[in-house]
Structure 1
Amino acid sequence: MEEQVAAYVAREQKQPLPPPPSEFGTVATLRKNLFATPFDTIITIVLGLFTAWAVWRLVQWGFATAVFTGENREACLAGEGGAVGACWAFVHAKLGQFVYGLYPLDQRWRVDLLFALLAVLMVPLAIPTAPYKRLNAILLVLVFPFVALVLLTGGNIGLSGGWVAFLFIIAAFISSALAAGNVTASAKLLKVANGLALVGLLVLLAANVVASGRVTFLDFRFSMLSLFAFFLALGSIGASVLSSLGAREPRHAGVLRILLPPLVTAVLIAVLAADFGLQHVPTNLWGGLMLTLVVALTGIAASLPVGILLALGRRSHLPAVRLFSIIFIEFWRGVPLITVLFMSTFMIPLLLPEGVTFNQLLRALIGVAIFSAAYMAEVIRGGLQAIPKGQYEGAQALGLGYWQMMRLIIMPQAIKLVIPGIVNTFIGLFKDTSLVYIIGLADLLGTVRRGFSDPNWITPTTAATGLVFAGFVYWIFCFGMSRYSMFMERRFDTGHKR
C-alpha cells in the first residue's frame, strides 16, 4: 500500500502549462478587443472600411496625384492627365514667406540665429538630466528676450522720456511688492514707496493734458512732468530699499532682490537705445511662423507668472486684493479673444501716458497675455485648492513667511498637480495666435491665406494645400507640447499611486 502512494508523489518541479490558445496570441487579442460580440464585429468592419477609404483618399490626394515642383499655377492645373491633388509646389514657392513673413531677405539670418539660440537654450532645459539648469534658466528668461529684441528689431529704438519714466514706475511698484514680501520690513517706508510710485503714475498721466516744457536728461527727451515722475519712481525704489535694511534676512539678499526690477529696466532701456549696427526692421514686416512663435512664447512666458499672482490674489485674505483678482479674472474670461484684441488695439493708446506709444504688435501681445493669464489663474487656483491644509500649517510652523511658503512648499506641489491644465492652456494659446490676423498681423495662418490671392498660384487646390500645411505645422507644435507634458506627468507622479 505504501509503495502505491509513493508512486503518485512528484519528485521534481512541474513546468507550467501554456495558456489556452483562445486567450493568447494575435488572434485571441483581436477576438477579445474587436470581435467579442456581433455588434463589436459590425462596428469594427464599418470603421475599418471607412479608415481604409479615408487613408487611401489622403494618400492619393497628398502623394499619388500631388504636384511637388512647378514655377506657377500651370503646374497645378488639371490637364489631360486628369485631376490634380495637392499643390505642394505652392508651399515650396511660398515657404520663405510662411516662415519669415515680409522680413528682408538679406536679414533673415537674424531670425535663423534666433531660432538656433532658442533651441540651444530650451532643449537642455527640457532634459531633466542636463546640468547647469539654473544658469540655463537665467539665460533663457533674462538674457534671451533682450537678445531676441535686438536681433528682430535691430536695436536703436528711439525712446522718449515718457517711456523711461513709465518703465521705472512699473519697476518701482514691483520693487515695493518684493519688499513687502518680508514681514519684518518697515511698514512706514513701504507706504512711502507705494505713495511715491502712485503719485509718479498720476503725474505721468497728467502730462497728457497739462502742457510743460521740454528738457533733455540722460540723452532722453523729457517733459517737465514726465521728468518729475521719473524722479518720484527713483524715490520710491530708494524707499523700498531702505525698508528692507532693518529686516531679519541678510541685508544684501533683500537689497539685491528689490534692486533687480530697476536694474533689469535700466538694462532694457540701454539695449533698446543702443546702436548695434543692424538694419532696423519694423514689426509690420514680421509675419509667418516667426510672428506666431513671438506671440505664443510671449503669451506663455507672461501668462504663467501673472496667472500665479492672480490665483494667489483670489485666495488672499485682503478684501481689496481678492476683489481686484476676481473682477480681473471673471471679466477677461467672459470676453472673447477677438474682442480683447480689438480692445487692446484701439483702447490701449487712449490709456497711455504722454510720450508712451505701443505699436500694433505690442498691443496684441498685451491682449493675448492678459486673456491667457485669466485662464491660467483658474488652473493654478485649482492646484492650490488641492494642497492639504497641513502643508500650510507645517510651513508656518517652520517660521516661513508667506512668499517663502508659497515659493518653497505650496506652489511646487500645486503646479505639479495641474501640469495637464497648464499645458492645455498653452496649447489653446498657441492655436489662438491665429486670431491676430483679424487685426492685421500676418501670422502663419494669415500669411498662408495671403498667399491664396497671388494670381500666379490661384488653382482649385491651392487653398486646401496651404491650409493642410498650416494645420500640420500647428499640430507638430501642439503634439510636441502634449507629449512633453505626459513625460513630465510620469516623472513627477510620485506618491499618488497605490
Structure 2
Amino acid sequence: MIEQELKMIPAREPPKMAVGVIAWLRGNLFTGPLGTAATLLIIYGLILTVPPLVQWLFLDATWFGASSQACNREGACWAFITARLDQFIYGFYPSEEYWRPNLFFAQLAVLVGWLSIKSTPWKKWVLGYSLVIMPVVSWFLLYGDIFGLAKVDTHQWGGLMLTLLLALCGMIASLPFGVLLALGRRSDMPVIRSLCTAYIELWRGVPLITVLFMASVMLPLFMPVEVSFDKLLRAMIGIIMFQSAYMAEVVRGGLQAIPKGQFEAFDSLGLSYWQGMIMIVLPQAMRLVIPGVVNTFIALFKDTSLVLVIGLFDLLAIIQAGLNDPKWLGNSIEGYLFAGFVFWIFCFGMSKYSQRLEQQLHQGH
C-alpha cells in the first residue's frame, strides 16, 4: 500500500501552446497588439515586393547573350554578367595564364577552410604560412618573371582578383603594425608614445582617397630616380598605413579593458615587458577585440574599391568600365547588384567566422 503511494507519476507533455510552432509565433511575431500589427504590416509589404522581385530577378531574366539586344526587358539582363564574367574576375589578365589566378583562389580557399574547420591539425603552421609565406608566393605566382613564369604587369591585374589581393595584404600587414602602434601609444617612454600618437591621429584624420592620391603621386618623389615603384605596391602601402592607424585604436581598446592586476602579475613573475605582453596580456586583449578587428577588416575590404582613383581596376571599377561598352548600355542595375552581392558574400563570411571564433575563444569571466 505504501509502495503504491510512493510511486512516481510519469512526466506529462507540456501544453501545445507552450512549445512548437505556435509558441514560437506567439513569442516572436505576435507578442501583443503592437507586435501583431507590425508583423502583419511586414507580411503585407513582403507580399507586395517579393513576387515581382523574384519575377524580375529569375523568371523573366535573360541569362546568356552577346549584347543587351538579346535581353528581355521585362526581366534582369544577367547576360551582361555571364558574358563578361572572366573580366570581372581576372581583369585584363592574359586568358592563357588564368591557371595562375585560379591557383591563387584555390590556395586561399584551402587555407581559409583549413583554419575554419576546428578538427584540422597543424593550425599554427598553416596560420604562419598564411601570414608570412602565402602573400609572397601569391605575388610571384601572379606577377611571374621567375621559375619560367611569364611576366604579367600589375596594370593588367583587376577584378575580383585585385580586390582580394589588396584586402588580404592590407589585413595581414595592418594587424601586427596596429598592435605595435597600440603598444607604443600606451608606452611609458614619452618619445615612443608621442610618435605613435601622432602617427595614429594623422592617418585617422585623412580620408583614404587622399592617402591613395598621395601614395600614387607623392611617394615616387621620395624615391631615387632610377627606382621605379609599382603603382599597385604604392596603393598597398597607402592602404596598410591607413588601416593600421584604425587597427591600433581597436587593439588599444582591448588593452585598456585588461585589469591592471594582469600587468602586475607578469611583473611579479619576473617576466620582461615583451614576455608579459605576448604570453599574458595580448592573448586576452585580442580575444576581446575580435568584433572590432573584423569590423575594420570588413571596412578595408569595401574600401578597396577606392583604388579606381589611381587607375587600378578592382571589381567595382571593372564593372563600371563594362557598363560603358556600347553593347551593354543600360545594364547598370544588374552590374551593381552583382558587385554588391559579391561584396556581401565575403563580408558576411568574415562576420560569421568572427562570431564562431568568439564562441571558440570565450572562456567566461
TM (normalized to structure 2)? 0.95
Cα distance between partner residues in 2 of 1:137 and 1:25: 43
Task: Check the 8 A contact 1:303/1:370 in 2, yes or no.
Answer: yes
Residue 10 of structure 2 corresponds to which residue in structure 1? 15
Task: Check the 8 A contact 1:121/1:139 in 2, yes or no.
Answer: no
Structure 1 residue 345, shift from structure 2 partner: 1.3
The CA RMSD over aligned residues, in Å, is 1.8
Cα distance between partner residues in 2 of 1:137 and 1:489: 17
1:139 equivalent among 125, 129, 140: 129
Structure 1 residue 356, shift from structure 2 partner: 3.3
- The residue type paired with residue 318 of structure 1 is M
Cα distance between partner residues in 2 of 1:398 and 1:354: 53
Q: Is 2:175 the counterpart of 1:304?
A: yes
Q: Aligned in 2, Cα 1:354/1:438: closer, same or farther, shift over 3 Å?
A: closer
Task: Check the 8 A contact 2:208/2:239 in 1, yes or no.
Answer: yes
5+ residue gaps in structure 2?
none
Provide, for residues 366-414 of structure 1, a one-character-per-residue CA deviation record: whole Å limited to 9, x for no partner.
1111111111001100111111112112212222211111111111111
Residue 148 of structure 1 corresponds to which residue in structure 2? 138
Residue 65 of structure 2 corresponds to which residue in structure 1? 70
Task: Check the 8 A contact 1:344/1:366 in 2, yes or no.
Answer: yes
1:366 equivalent among 216, 237, 240: 237
Residue 317 of structure 1 corresponds to which residue in structure 2? 188
Equivalent residues in 2 for 1:323-334 (5 A)? 323-334=194-205
Q: Is 2:241 the counterpart of 1:382?
A: no
Provide the secondary structure at the position in 1 that maps to 2:177.
helix
Q: Is 2:135 the counterpart of 1:276?
A: no
1:456 equivalent among 305, 319, 327: 327
Q: Aligned in 2, Cα 1:119/1:29: closer, same or farther, shift over 3 Å?
A: closer
5+ residue gaps in structure 1?
1-5, 156-274
Equivalent residues in 2 for 1:63-462 (5 A)? 63-78=58-73, 83=74, 85-155=75-145, 275-459=146-330, 462=331
Cα distance between partner residues in 2 of 1:476 and 1:25: 32
Structure 1 residue 36, shift from structure 2 partner: 2.9
Provide, for residues 293-320 of structure 1, a one-character-per-residue CA deviation record: whole Å limited to 9, x for no partner.
1110010011101100000000001111
Structure 1 residue 287, shift from structure 2 partner: 0.3
Cα distance between partner residues in 1 of 2:90 and 2:303: 19
- The residue type paired with residue 240 of structure 2 is A
Question: Kindly, what percent of the aligned residue pairs are identical?
Answer: 52
Structure 1 residue 338, shift from structure 2 partner: 1.1
- The residue type paired with residue 470 of structure 1 is A
- The residue type paired with residue 87 of structure 1 is C
Residue 471 of structure 1 corresponds to which residue in structure 2? 340
Residue 61 of structure 1 corresponds to which residue in structure 2? 56
Q: Is 2:31 the counterpart of 1:36?
A: yes
Q: Aligned in 2, Cα 1:124/1:33: closer, same or farther, shift over 3 Å?
A: closer
Provide the secondary structure at the position in 2 that maps to 1:281.
coil
Cα distance between partner residues in 2 of 1:474 and 1:55: 22
Larger Rg: 1
Q: Is 2:42 the counterpart of 1:52?
A: no
Structure 1 residue 125, shift from structure 2 partner: 2.8
Residue 483 of structure 1 corresponds to which residue in structure 2? 352
Cα distance between partner residues in 1 of 2:33 and 2:129: 61
- The residue type paired with residue 396 of structure 1 is D
Structure 1 residue 152, shift from structure 2 partner: 1.1
Cα distance between partner residues in 2 of 1:493 and 1:476: 26
Provide the secondary structure at the position in 1 that maps to 2:218.
helix
Cα distance between partner residues in 2 of 1:134 and 1:28: 46
Task: Check the 8 A contact 2:91/2:318 in 1, yes or no.
Answer: yes
Structure 1 residue 364, shift from structure 2 partner: 0.9
Provide the secondary structure at the position in 2 that maps to 1:423.
helix
Provide, for residues 313-350 of structure 1, a one-character-per-residue CA deviation record: whole Å limited to 9, x for no partner.
00001111101111111111111111111121111112
- The residue type paired with residue 414 of structure 1 is A
Cα distance between partner residues in 2 of 1:69 and 1:127: 37
Cα distance between partner residues in 2 of 1:147 and 1:102: 21
Residue 171 of structure 1 corresponds to which residue in structure 2? none
Structure 1 residue 113, shift from structure 2 partner: 1.3
- The residue type paired with residue 487 of structure 1 is R
